[in-house]
Amino acid sequence: MNTYQEKLLHTHHGHTHAHPVAFFARLDARAVLLAWLAYTVLLISVPKFDPVGAAVFASLPVLVLTASGVRPGPIFRRLFYLSPFILLSAAANPFLDRRPFFEFGGIAVGAGMISGLVIIIKAFLSIFSVLTLAACMPFDHVCHAMRRLRVPEAFTTQLLLLHRYSFILADEAGSMRRARDIRSFAGRGKGPGVTARLIGSLLLRSTARATRIHDAMVSRGFHGTVSCCQEDHSFDRTDFFFLTGTAAFCLALRRFF
């Protein structure tokens, strides 16, 4: 996990239970998830040589970001960490596709430059939209929506509990790492051998924790399923308008740009 990921983990709103946008928390999470999927599919379907058509899709995450008050800092910082694999794919295009695409002030711009640019724009927008929406949606709502969209219960329960314990174990691993680092000089003691033993101890601690959690769950009446907080929420008119409105807006962006 990189530093920016740790930062994102600790600034995540689902973690602090302070939902910046009450509007999203009130909606049926199924509507938000489906609208989000429609947005992603339409963004990804933008053709290879259409940078403007891709860039205009920034409008939706910009709207969510400004409307929600989600802190933009960690999100923008994340944009600087594009995976080398995306950068390679985008950077190769200008060299491999030299067909002239258009002329700008006497300089011919190659088709490869345009398609490389489209890859970068899509990568930015994918990160931007995922992080803004995930920051606005309480994570338990996402899991319950998935359950009600017939995703197997075993998987949604796993997600809920995983989210719950990630923060705890991340703290534990963080202190183990700090303890190792302050005892290592000039990089000695940070090799795979020592680290593997630390990871092994973390694993043993984690399974011991699982036993304690299980005892606590059983003593509170757990017998296989975790209940769902949006169970009584029905898919009402607001949800319907939200879903169709977003899908129609994205379709309009695809049509007019």
Residues 206-225 that bind another protein (CB under 8 A): 206-207, 209-211, 213-214, 217-218, 222-224
Q: Binding to another protein by residue 76, rule CB under 8 A?
A: no
Q: Binding to another protein by residue 203, rule CB under 8 A?
A: yes
- Residue 48 is given by DSSP the state T
Count CA within 13 A, CB hemisphere, residue 123: 19
Query: Helix (H) and strand (E) counts for the chain?
Result: 13, 2
- In 80-228, which ranges are continuous DSSP H helix? 84-96, 111-136, 139-148, 153-182, 192-219
Q: What is the largest CA-CA distance in the chain?
A: 76
In terms of CB distance, is 185 or 234 closer to another protein?
185
Name the segment binding another protein (CB under 8 A); options: 70-78, 229-237, 238-246. 70-78
User: What part of residues 154-193 is at the interface with another protein (CB under 8 A)?
Assistant: 154-155, 157-159, 161-166, 168-170, 172-174, 176-177, 180, 187, 190-193
In terms of CB distance, is 59 or 244 closer to another protein?
59
| Min separation Cβ 155 and another protein, Å | 5
The whole-angstrom separation of Cα 34 and Cα 37 is: 5
In terms of CB distance, is 234 or 239 closer to another protein?
239
Residue with tokens 């996990």: 1
The whole-angstrom separation of Cα 149 and Cα 163 is: 20
Q: Binding to another protein by residue 72, rule CB under 8 A?
A: no
Q: Binding to another protein by residue 105, rule CB under 8 A?
A: no
